[in-house]
Structure 1
Amino acid sequence: MEFKENEPIYLQIAAHVSDQILLGKWAAEEKIPSVRDLAVTFQVNPNTVMRTYEQLQNQEVIYNKRGLGFFVMPDAVKKVKAQRKERFLQQDLPAFFKNISLLEIDLEEIQKRYEAYKSENYEPEIEQKP
């Protein structure tokens, strides 16, 4: 993972952990990599990962089972989505609106490209028959 210079590394690692949870790679109540293992993976100091895990604990995304490690909270997906949605609406969306306004891109063009993006990147859910 290449770290961006304009954001603290521990927050970038927290975003990665959150991504794994949102993608379903780390499920509710599942043990996540140890501080040491994640530090090796990202080639960072274990204290940086510990700071990441403390941040995620404070946000109630993960929890610590003493002696066993860190685990994904049962409602972690809901918490991560709510936090990201709020950040997007408060920070990213105003910048997006500014750009489309300055570039005179109309909402129909945005809608068309959004639909194309969804169809190219997300398979429709298929109902499973019993």
Structure 2
Amino acid sequence: MEFKETQAIYVQIADYICEQILLHKWQPDERIPSVRELAVSLEVNPNTVMRTCELLQQQEIIFNKRGIGYFISPDAVKKIRQFKKEAFISTELPSFFRSLYLLDLGLDELKPHYEKFKKSNFN
């Protein structure tokens, strides 16, 4: 995983875990890789992964079964989408709308591009 300098690593790892859940690679009630396994595979300090797990646990996306590991909450997909929608609307959408306005692009012009993107990336 390539980390950006603009965001804390533990937050980027949380985004990675959330993406795995949204892509249905990791299912609700399924155990996620251990802190050590994630640290090795992502080439980060286990303390960084632990901080990620604490963040996701506070957001009720994962939960801990003592002595067994972390598991994905049954309603994790719903919670992730809620958090990500709020973040997208408040941070990215204003810039996106500004670009649409400056380029005189309508949403109807974007739909074919969005459909093509979905088809080529998620089918």
Name the TM tier (shorter chain): over 0.9
Q: Which amino acid aligns with 1:47?
A: N
Task: Return the TM-score normalized by structure 2.
Answer: 0.93
Q: What is the aligned partner in structure 1 of residue 65 from structure 2? A: 65
Q: Which amino acid aligns with 1:112?
A: P
Whole-angstrom distance in 2 between the partners of 1:116 and 1:20: 22
Structure 1 runs of 4+ off > 4 angstroms?
none
Q: Which amino acid aligns with 1:35?
A: V
Whole-angstrom distance in 1 between the partners of 2:31 and 2:77: 15
Q: Following superposition of structure 1 onto structure 2, how do residues 1-130 of structure 1 map, counting pairs within 5 Å?
A: 1-123=1-123
Q: Secondary structure at the match of 2:70?
A: strand
Whole-angstrom distance in 2 between the partners of 1:114 and 1:94: 18
Task: Return the TM-score normalized by structure 1.
Answer: 0.89
Gaps of at least 5 residues in structure 2 are none
Q: Secondary structure at the match of 1:102?
A: helix
Q: What is the aligned partner in structure 2 of residue 128 from structure 1? A: none
The alpha-carbon distance between structure 1 residues 3 and 122, as it changes in their structure 2 partners (threshold 3 A), is closer
Q: Which amino acid aligns with 2:45?
A: N
- CA-atom RMSD, angstroms? 1.2
Whole-angstrom distance in 1 between the partners of 2:24 and 2:13: 17
The alpha-carbon distance between structure 1 residues 23 and 7, as it changes in their structure 2 partners (threshold 3 A), is same
Identical-residue share of aligned pairs (%): 54
Larger Rg: 1
